Structure 1
Amino acid sequence: MTAGTAASQDVVTSVPSPCINVCRMDDATGLCEGCLRTIDEVSGWATYDDASKRAVWDLLEGRHVQWLAQHQQARA
């Protein structure tokens, strides 16, 4: 395996950022309105290892469910 091949494999297996370029912090929740991460999760993302990034993604699933429920109740 060459160094170039190893580097391209790292790119394929790296955990993507949940950022969707809607970067506004909600004062009430402390979460980004776009990706639902905390400011600590946003600022630390670049230094997180893949396991930590996956842990954040797991948290985001629950936050998204809560967000959807709250916004559906607000419409009712």
Structure 2
Amino acid sequence: MDSPCIRMCALNEEDVCLGCGRMLNEITSWASYSDARRASLMADCKKRLFLLGKKTASMEKP
């Protein structure tokens, strides 16, 4: 499975990449993960990015 990196690397204060949704330790360990672990992580990343979007949107409201 290919890396989910979209070359928009920027970590927030919780060490979550705002581009792909992986945590810093997941980024550095990606190559050692099995395909099953990577697939599971991809689901986690989608959830994180969704929640980050909701958090950002709520912070932008007056």
Between Structure 1 and Structure 2, the one with more helix by share is: 1
The match for 2:40 among 47, 50, 55 is 55
Query: 1:46-76 deviations in whole A, cap 9, x for unaligned?
Result: 1111001001101112101211111111222
Gaps of 5+ in 1: 1-14
Gaps of 5+ in 2: none
Q: Give the TM-score normalised by structure 1.
A: 0.69
C-alpha displacement of 1:41: 0.6
Is 2:44 the counterpart of 1:21?
no
Runs of 4+ in structure 1 off by over 6 angstroms are: none
Q: Give the TM-score normalised by structure 2.
A: 0.82
Aligned-residue CA RMSD (Å): 1.3
Equivalenced residue count is 61
Letter in 2 for 1:32: C
Q: Secondary structure at the match of 2:3?
A: coil
Q: Which has the larger radius of gyration?
A: 1
Q: Percent same amino acid at aligned positions?
A: 26
Distance 2:47 2:59 in 1: 19
Between Structure 1 and Structure 2, the one with more strand by share is: 1
